[in-house]
């Protein structure tokens, strides 16, 4: 700025004006062209150790702080340009000062003369800078919560990853956020229940407490989960929502875990001091919680991905062995029938082969369930099954290998035990060898290589009191009138090929609950038209 025309008078006027700023909360100083202090207010003297810095270089009086920019020589730049400059410095005691420098020009148009001075205002921005740094550190820490290299991921189980994530959350909560009491709960969207993920410093009964995402009778945690809003509890003794978590806690802070604008859980911290948390603490915890939510989501995706991959691998393995094992069963049954009544030892050995072949398939299914890496995901998968099909023994008879393989895949996903045969003779042998373990449902193609579906039914009636038969057919002419004959015999369920998954499962379920063939008239339902 330009003050008057006489150098001495201008400076004296500036000094008198500056004295008004003696007790101004920001620092104010007047510097000569060499950047030596001509005058400084009380705030500047405080930063200079209580000494009057007059006659001393300004930066030297402040302990030669580190120049952080943008101006490296702010006083010189102000005098040279005739405009205000600004820069940030950091002192030896880690104080951040923001300097605004403006020229005091002795006479208009004579900037840069020896009579020019600079007035500097200094603001302490330490708190702001430290908060910015802490926010950045919190965000960086949050991004590292579940940050693992591919090699580390390959070597770790899902449980180990969860424990690492929990350990990192606690580490940063203590060391970076200075929170010693921590509780995180995750929201189960189906039940509305808030399931504990981790707790540090909480009482055992508080950890075991059942909470739901509701605004009433579920504490601060339930309120935050239900509303999606952070909540201060400055005095736990007077807050109607607060439920004791940490023994002796006098204040608490709870924020929602948010992912894509949806609440997925809560993050709660507590303090033994009343009013132990500030708005800044809330901002820090909200920043950290967003990254915690992302890390938890990433982990859940990894769990789901591994569960899916494992299931696909098990299905691929089972699919590769299912039909060969069926061939072993068919061959063993065929040979066994020839030896029945001739060589008991051979029959016993063949029966052992049958048992072992069936055990192979069961073992693969059981291993697949044990390899599922996430209990929650496994429950979800089990919940999608048709419960009526679980454990049911089903025989599929078809010359088409693709149909037999598809039957294995689709029905075994729902817990059924599936065996197959290629023609009517194999099917008859399999049923005869089943003994006490009768098949719950038999699905047979209407045109087998060696007989029709109706002829198979007649053969099975010689073995079974009741024949739980479902016929499969493609759309078209039925030259043997098998469908008509089968219906007259009481078989009302016909499955048209190609069929959808739901059609197959629905038909098998109906076969399990309707009257069996030969016991009465066919039940009404969606069956084939003649």
Per residue in 99-132, pLDDT (tens digit) is 999 987 654 444 445 567 888 999 998 887 777 7
What is the distance between the alpha carbons of residues 116 and 11, in angstroms, rounded to a whole number?
9
pLDDT surpasses 70 at 195 = yes
Tell me what the mean pLDDT of segment 25-50 comes to: 88
More confident residue, 356 or 467: 467
What is the distance between the alpha carbons of residues 20 and 24, in angstroms, rounded to a whole number?
8
The pLDDT tens digits for 133-155 are 777 766 666 666 656 555 555 56
pLDDT on residue 374? 43
pLDDT surpasses 60 at 6 = no
The pLDDT tens digits for 483-493 are 777 777 767 67
Tell me what the mean pLDDT of segment 14-25 comes to: 70
pLDDT surpasses 80 at 422 = yes
Where in the chain are the domains?
7-124, 133-303, 385-530
CATH fold match for the domains 7-124 and 385-530: no
Q: Is 349 helix (H, G, I), strand (E, B) or coil?
A: helix
More confident residue, 417 or 339: 417
Measured CA distances, 347 to 224, 227, 228, 331, 475 (Å): 69, 70, 69, 13, 42
> Count of alpha carbons within 13 Å of 207, Cβ hemisphere only?
11
pLDDT surpasses 90 at 365 = no
Partner residues linked to 421 by β-bridges: 397
pLDDT band at 193 (very low <50, low <70, confident <90, very high): very high
pLDDT on residue 131? 72
Measured CA distances, 209 to 112, 185, 193 (Å): 74, 11, 11
Neighbours of 367 (CB within 10 A): 12
pLDDT on residue 485? 74
pLDDT band at 520 (very low <50, low <70, confident <90, very high): very low
pLDDT on residue 316? 63
Of the spans 68-82, 224-238, 287-301, which averages the highest pLDDT?
A: 224-238
Tell me what the mean pLDDT of segment 277-283 comes to: 87
Query: Residue 122 in contact with residue 27, Cβ under 8 Å?
Result: yes
pLDDT on residue 100? 92
**Ramachandran assignment for 385, one of left (phi > 0), alpha (psi -120 to 50 degrees), beta (any other):** beta
Q: Which of 224, 238, 170 is nearest to 202 (CA)?
A: 170
What is the distance between the alpha carbons of residues 448 and 93, in angstroms, rounded to a whole number?
92
Query: Residue 450 in contact with residue 424, Cβ under 8 Å?
Result: yes
Kindly report the pTM of this predicted structure: 0.47
pLDDT on residue 481? 67
pLDDT on residue 497? 75
pLDDT on residue 227? 95
More confident residue, 318 or 412: 412
The pLDDT tens digits for 437-455 are 788 999 998 889 999 888 8
Q: What CATH architecture is 385-530?
A: 3-Layer(aba) Sandwich (3.40)
pLDDT band at 250 (very low <50, low <70, confident <90, very high): very high
Cα torsion angle, 434, 436, 442, 448, sign: positive
pLDDT band at 266 (very low <50, low <70, confident <90, very high): very high
Neighbours of 44 (CB within 10 A): 22
Q: pLDDT above 90 covers what percent of the chain? A: 19
pLDDT surpasses 70 at 204 = yes
What is the distance between the alpha carbons of residues 211 and 208, in angstroms, rounded to a whole number?
9
Query: Residue 431 in contact with residue 439, Cβ under 8 Å?
Result: yes
Query: Residue 285 in contact with residue 279, Cβ under 8 Å?
Result: no
pLDDT band at 220 (very low <50, low <70, confident <90, very high): very high
Q: Which of 81, 76, 79, 74 is nearest to 106 (CA)?
A: 79
Q: Which of 165, 167, 171, 201 is nearest to 183 (CA)?
A: 201
pLDDT on residue 225? 95
SS (H, E, C) 255-274: EEEEECCEEEEEEEEEECCC
Please state whether beta strands 393-397 and 417-421 pair in parallel, antiparallel, or not at all (unpaired): parallel
3.30.450.40, 3.40.640.10, 3.40.30.10, 3.20.20.150: which CATH number matches 133-303?
A: 3.30.450.40
pLDDT surpasses 90 at 252 = yes
The pLDDT tens digits for 180-189 are 899 999 888 8
Residue 296, token pair as written in the block:
């938890």
Please state whether beta strands 193-200 and 211-212 pair in parallel, antiparallel, or not at all (unpaired): antiparallel
Q: What is the DSSP letter of 516?
A: P
pLDDT on residue 3? 41
pLDDT surpasses 50 at 161 = yes
Residue 522, token pair as written in the block:
């066919």
Q: Which of 276-280, 368-372, 489-493 has the lowest mean pLDDT?
A: 368-372
| CATH class of this structure's domain 7-124 | alpha beta
Helix axes 279-339, 424-434, angle to 10 degrees: 100
pLDDT on residue 23? 77
Q: What is the DSSP letter of 520?
A: S
pLDDT on residue 209? 92
pLDDT on residue 369? 56
Tell me what the mean pLDDT of segment 92-100 comes to: 89
pLDDT surpasses 90 at 377 = no
Partner residues linked to 27 by β-bridges: 122
The number of angstroms, rounded, from the C-alpha of 17 to the middle of its chain's C-alpha atoms is 62
Residue 295, token pair as written in the block:
């890390």
């Amino acid at each position: 700025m330009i003050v008057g025309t006489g150098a001495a008078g201008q400076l004296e006027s500036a000094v008198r004006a500056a004295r008004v700023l003696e007790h101004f909360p920001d620092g104010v100083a007047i510097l000569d062209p060499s950047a030596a202090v001509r005058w400084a207010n009380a705030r500047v003297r405080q930063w200079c150790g209580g000494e009057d810095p007059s006659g001393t270089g300004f930066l030297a009086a402040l302990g030669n702080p580190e120049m952080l920019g943008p101006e490296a020589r702010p006083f010189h730049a102000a005098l040279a340009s005739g405009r205000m400059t600004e820069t940030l410095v950091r002192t030896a005691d880690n104080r951040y000062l923001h300097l605004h420098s403006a020229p005091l020009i002795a006479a208009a148009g004579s900037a840069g003369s020896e009579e020019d001075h600079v007035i500097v205002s200094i603001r302490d921005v330490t708190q702001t800078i430290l908060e910015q740094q802490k926010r950045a550190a919190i965000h960086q820490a949050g991004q590292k919560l579940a940050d693992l290299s591919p090699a580390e991921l390959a070597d770790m189980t899902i449980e180990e990853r969860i424990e690492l994530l929990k350990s990192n959350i606690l580490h940063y909560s203590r060391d970076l956020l200075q929170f010693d009491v921590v509780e995180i709960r995750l929201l189960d969207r189906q039940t509305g229940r808030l399931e504990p993920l981790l707790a540090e410093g909480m009482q055992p009964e508080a950890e075991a407490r059942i909470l739901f995402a509701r605004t009433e009778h579920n504490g601060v945690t339930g309120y935050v989960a239900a509303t999606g809003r952070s909540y201060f509890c400055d005095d736990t003794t007077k807050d109607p929502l607060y439920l004791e978590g940490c023994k002796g806690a006098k204040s608490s802070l709870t924020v929602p875990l948010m992912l894509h604008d949806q609440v997925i859980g809560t993050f709660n911290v507590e303090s033994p001091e009343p009013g132990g948390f500030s708005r800044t603490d809330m901002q820090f915890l909200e920043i950290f919680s967003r990254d915690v939510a992302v890390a938890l989501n990433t982990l859940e995706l990894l769990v789901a991905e591994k569960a899916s991959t494992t299931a696909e691998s098990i299905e691929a393995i089972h699919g590769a062995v299912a039909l060969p094992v069926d061939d072993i069963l068919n061959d063993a049954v065929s040979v066994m029938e020839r030896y029945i009544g001739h060589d008991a030892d051979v029959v016993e050995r063949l029966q052992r082969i049958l048992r072992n072949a069936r055990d192979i398939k069961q073992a693969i299914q059981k291993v697949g369930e044990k390899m599922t890496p996430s209990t929650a995901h496994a429950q979800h998968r089990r919940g999608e099954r048709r419960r009526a099909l679980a454990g049911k023994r089903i025989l599929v008879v078809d010359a088409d290998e693709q149909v037999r393989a598809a039957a294995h895949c689709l029905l075994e996903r729902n817990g059924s035990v599936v065996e197959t045969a290629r023609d009517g003779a194999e099917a008859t042998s399999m049923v005869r060898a089943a003994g006490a373990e009768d098949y719950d449902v038999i699905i047979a193609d209407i045109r087998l290589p060696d007989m029709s579906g109706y002829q198979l039914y007649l053969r099975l009636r010689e073995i079974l009191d009741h024949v739980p038969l479902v016929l499969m057919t493609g759309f078209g002419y039925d030259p043997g009138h098998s469908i008509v004959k089968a219906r007259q015999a009481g078989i009302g369920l016909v499955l048209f090929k190609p069929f959808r998954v739901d059609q197959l499962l629905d038909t098998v379920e109906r076969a399990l609950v309707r009257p069996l063939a030969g016991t009465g008239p066919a039940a009404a339902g969606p069956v084939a038209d003649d």
